Amino acid sequence: MDNITFKTLAPETQIPKTIPYPLNIAVAGTGYVGLVSGVCLAHRGHHVTCVDINVKKITMMQQGISPIYEQDLEELMFLNNDRLTYTTDYKLAYKNADVIFIGVGTPEQPDGSANLSYIATVARQIAETVEKNCLVVVKSTVPVGTNDKVEQFIKDFLPRNGEKNNIADQNNIEVEVASNPEFLAQGTAVRDTLEAARIIIGTESKTAEETLINVYKPFSLPIVSVSRRSAEMIKYASNDFLALKISYINDIANLCELVGADIQDVAKGMGYDTRIGNKFLNAGIGYGGSCFPKDTKALDYLAKQNGYELRTVKAAIEVNIDQKILLYKKACQRLITFSGLKVAVLGLTFKPGTDDLREAPSLENVPLLLGQGADIYAYDPVGIENFQRRFPETSKECDSSNSKGSIKYVKTVEEALLDANVCFIFTEWEEIKTIQPADYKKLMHTALVYDGRNIYSVENMKESSVEYYSIGRK
């Protein structure tokens, strides 16, 4: 263990006395990362200004409404209202901030690399605005080396001698950059932040390290302090490891089906080994969301850029692509056509507890089903509004050619199932899990169910005379 380069700090014992508390913190970006971080930092006593360019979002937050669906978030916004400000005026937010968190998006580009233009915009705004020394903290997931570039970029854009409003130069302002990746999962983001397993801080100076330790002092959580590049890599390596774990269990599940083993029993047996652990071993129709698909591709891209082939991560990506349409393919083997069939689609979001659709299996399967002429009745407790924007409600009557399917959104699982010929389960929402095997038999025209989340016991479905297909089980 001697040559391990990180150190774990016990925050209570090593808090520098020199840095004030609470701090004035600005957070750029009010998505899942930015808003949740900002609200949790305020909950732990700091004064936080959340900045976003979206006027509509800012107006909502000023009225106490969270623009994203996230458990406990609105309650915490209300509780900490005195310490929270929401604004589109970045100058107001940055000029006197002690610490500026960057939590804007780094979306995937067509080649798999991360788009850093939003980060660059914020970095430039910071450079042009700050009026005192501050620490810029990159929370967004960024390729290794980005923090170095952000620091240089800010330095490049700090006002020079003789320039108008040359406040930065007059005061000899120092802006340092630190990496502080986040590990929150959507749906449990508030809890994941307040009760994080660890806080990773990546810094290149004692001052930056001490400032970040001070920010997190009131959280009383283990802090792992490393270099900036290691911190950036910890984030990718962690997410990609979890994606790999899911693709691995899905791969094994597919083999289980072929050899007559049961993936849930297999995963249970594996999980007792503490070296493996029992989390993230749920086989299903693949991982989605805004993180795993993007971060696996980004690391694969980074490796390629450096002349290395990251074969394990590549395999995880490939397995996941096939896994998402596995059930559709199975159904195609069972049915002559989807045309004229009522297809119940239960669950649209990439996982329960969120209205996020990014990379959700539903997005792959619904167009395939529509293309085959299916009449879809889709149910999701929170995802319909977002899904409808991509797939507006249609009906057969509107489409005289009758060659394409239709999609209708319903408010209950029962409505979706009533007289359906086939049912697909894409998300394991509680509202769906409470539907009993006998209900499928009772409600559907043909009790034919393809379950992408292994919600039901195979035996119970059999007892209720439901023709049931799931992942990795006979």
- Residue from 101, 118, 287, 426 in contact with ligand UGA (CB under 6 A): 287
Cα(416)–Cα(427) distance, integer angstroms: 14
Q: Looking at residues 222 to 241 of the shown chain, list those that interact with ligand UGA (rule: CB under 6 A).
A: 239
- Residue from 79, 185, 382, 458 in contact with ligand UGA (CB under 6 A): 185
Q: Which of 401, 400, 454 is nearest to 425 (CA)?
A: 454
**Measured from the CB atom, is 40 or 448 closer to ligand UGA?**
40
| Shortest Å distance, C-beta 65 to ligand UGA | 22
443: CB partners within 8 A, 6+ apart: 414, 417, 418, 419, 420
141 binds ligand UGA (CB under 6 A): yes
452 binds ligand UGA (CB under 6 A): no
Cα(358)–Cα(384) distance, integer angstroms: 13
- In the beta sheet, which residues pair with residue 143? none
Beta strands in 264-415 (DSSP E): 342-346, 375-379, 406-409
| Shortest Å distance, C-beta 288 to ligand UGA | 4
| Shortest Å distance, C-beta 246 to ligand UGA | 5
Cα(188)–Cα(206) distance, integer angstroms: 33
| Shortest Å distance, C-beta 353 to ligand UGA | 9
| Shortest Å distance, C-beta 35 to ligand UGA | 13
260: CB partners within 8 A, 6+ apart: 474
Chain CA centroid to CA 226, Å: 24
186 binds ligand UGA (CB under 6 A): yes
The contact mask relative to ligand UGA for 67-96 (x = CB under 6 A, - = no) is: ------------------------------
Report residue 318 as tokens.
Answer: 């490939």
Cα(184)–Cα(214) distance, integer angstroms: 20
The contact mask relative to ligand UGA for 378-417 (x = CB under 6 A, - = no) is: ----------------------------------------
- Residue from 216, 292, 338, 379 in contact with ligand UGA (CB under 6 A): 292
Q: Looking at residues 240 to 259 of the shown chain, list those that interact with ligand UGA (rule: CB under 6 A).
A: 242, 246
DSSP annotation of 134:
E
Cα(186)–Cα(189) distance, integer angstroms: 5
> What ranges in 158-205 are assigned the alpha helix state H?
167-170, 189-194
Exactly one of 291, 332, 398, 423 is catalytic; name it.
Answer: 291
**Measured from the CB atom, is 22 or 284 closer to ligand UGA?**
284
**Measured from the CB atom, is 338 or 350 closer to ligand UGA?**
350
| Shortest Å distance, C-beta 284 to ligand UGA | 4
- In the beta sheet, which residues pair with residue 299? none
Contact window for ligand UGA (CB under 6 A) among 65-73, 113-121, 289-297, 437-445: 289-297
280: left (phi over 0), alpha (psi -120 to 50) or beta: left
> What ranges in 17-142 are assigned the alpha helix state H?
32-43, 55-62, 73-79, 90-94, 117-129
| Shortest Å distance, C-beta 238 to ligand UGA | 7
135 binds ligand UGA (CB under 6 A): no
291 is catalytic: yes
Catalytic residues: 291
Which chain residues interact with ligand UGA by CB under 6 A? Answer: 141, 182-186, 239, 242, 246, 280-282, 284, 287-289, 291-292, 350-351
